Structure 1
Amino acid sequence: MDPIYKALFVCTSHTDYPTKPYKTGLWLSEATHFYDELDDRKLPYDIASPSGGPVPIDERSVDRRDTVNEKWYNDPTFRHKLEHSTRLDEIDPASYQILYLTGGHGAMWDFPDNQTLQTIVRYIYENGGLVAAVGHGVSGLLNVRLSDGSLLLDNRQVAGFSTMEEKLVRLDEEVPFLLEDALKQKKALYGKGFIPFLPYIEVDERLVTGQNPLSARKVGRKVMEEMYEK
């Protein structure tokens, strides 16, 4: 019998850009495409966010042609978890073996300095769990320190939304910082794909990170491989 692992998805609660008229939030496919890989094994999962309650969805990410988005966004259980996310400070990290930080630009505001999130990451990682993140969700790993005081990302191979991608979506002036630069400042070994917006992941032991929304499925697949095929 395969072990049953439980996954925790963490999504942003942040919606506003400094000057843009439209809203940000979770980039929907970063949750749905990842979960689509976990669903093959019917893994139990919870969805949490800094503020709890309804997870805001970046409206530009709700693509009608994306059948995976459509499938899970219309799935009653998945939708209910998205609309009734647990507050991060009500989460018991001991319940989870897989942690996944989803992206969407909102994460750049409410992930990096969230102490509760840092505690959850540290606990799951130090207790043999797997930590995964994609796109702007990787910002939640920037300030995580392990129990010995070292930075989780120090000298670790990691991917995340690139500066080129930020410029191409014309949001490089809106975000509080550029993720690629911040990762390099933390001494992470940042890697990215040769062509923007194509799937690209980095794997460093129990740390799996993806560059952009299209990387979410690949991250999910790699997480399943690491958990079940090693």
Structure 2
Amino acid sequence: MDPIYRALIVCTNHTDYPTKPFKTGLWLSEATHFYDELADRNLPYDIASPKGGAVPIDERSMDRRDTVNEKWYNNPTFRAKLDNSLPLADVNPENYQIIYFTGGHGTMWDFPDNEIVKRLTRQIYEKGGMVSAVCHGVSALLNVTLSDGTLLIDNRQVTGFSNMEEKLVRLDEEVPFLLEDALKQQKALYSKSLIPFLPYIEVDERLVTGQNPLSARKVGRKVLEEMYEK
């Protein structure tokens, strides 16, 4: 019998850009494509966010041609978890062996300096769990310190939304910082795909990161591989 693991999928609550009229929020496929991998193993999961409650979704990510988005967004259980996310303050890290930070630009505002994000990540990691993130969700890892005082990402192989990708989506002037630059400043060993927007992940022991929305499924697959096949 395989062990039963439980995953915590963390989403943003932040919706506003400084000057753009449209809203940000969760990039939907970064939750659905990751979860689609977990669902194949019937892995139990919860969805949480810094404040709890309904997770805002970036309207530009509601791709009707994405059958995985359609499947899970219209799945009553998944949708109920998205609409009633757990407040991070109520989450017990003892219940989870996997933590996964979804992206969407909103995360750049409410993940990096959130003390509960940092504490949960540290606690799950230090008890042998997997820490994973995709796209802007990697910003959650920027300021996570371990019990010995070192940064989680110090000298670790990571990826995340690149400066070039930010420029290409024309939001480099809107975000509070550029994720690629911030990861490098924290001494992470940052790398990216040669061609923007192609799936790309980095794995450094129990740390799995994906560069952009198309990387979410690969992150999910790799997390499961690391958990079950080691």
Q: Is the partner of 2:131 in helix, strand or coil? A: strand
Residue identity matched to 2:55:
V
The match for 2:183 is 183
Deviation track 1:25-62 (CA, whole Å, cap 9, x = no partner) reads: 00000000000000011000000001100000000000
**2:10 is equivalent to residue 14 of structure 1:** no
The match for 2:51 is 51
- Give the number of equivalent residue pairs: 230
Residue identity matched to 1:221:
R
TM-score, normalised to structure 1, is 1.00
Paired residues for 1:141-152 under 5 Å:
141-152=141-152
The match for 2:79 is 79
Distance in 2, Cα, partners of 1:59 & 1:99? 25
Distance in 2, Cα, partners of 1:83 & 1:190? 34
**2:209 is equivalent to residue 205 of structure 1:** no
Q: Is the partner of 1:227 in helix, strand or coil? A: helix
Distance in 2, Cα, partners of 1:21 & 1:51? 23
Q: Structure 2: 5+ residue runs without aligned partners?
A: none
Deviation track 1:150-176 (CA, whole Å, cap 9, x = no partner) reads: 000000000000000000000000000
**2:222 is equivalent to residue 226 of structure 1:** no
Distance in 1, Cα, partners of 2:116 & 2:25? 19
Distance in 1, Cα, partners of 2:172 & 2:138? 16
The match for 1:130 is 130
Residue identity matched to 1:98:
I
Distance in 2, Cα, partners of 1:151 & 1:132? 15
Q: Is the partner of 1:5 in helix, strand or coil? A: coil
Residue identity matched to 2:43:
L
Distance in 2, Cα, partners of 1:130 & 1:72? 23
Residue identity matched to 1:167:
K
Distance in 1, Cα, partners of 2:143 & 2:132? 15
Distance in 1, Cα, partners of 2:191 & 2:207? 14
**Which stretches of structure 1, 4 residues or more, deviate above 6 A after TM superposition?**
none
Distance in 1, Cα, partners of 2:7 & 2:155? 26
Distance in 1, Cα, partners of 2:66 & 2:40? 19
The match for 1:29 is 29
Deviation track 1:179-201 (CA, whole Å, cap 9, x = no partner) reads: 00000000000010000000000
Deviation track 1:124-147 (CA, whole Å, cap 9, x = no partner) reads: 000000000000000000000000
Distance in 1, Cα, partners of 2:117 & 2:95? 15
* CA RMSD, Structure 1 to Structure 2 (Å): 0.3
The match for 2:217 is 217
Distance in 1, Cα, partners of 2:93 & 2:10? 12
Paired residues for 1:59-74 under 5 Å:
59-74=59-74
The match for 1:120 is 120
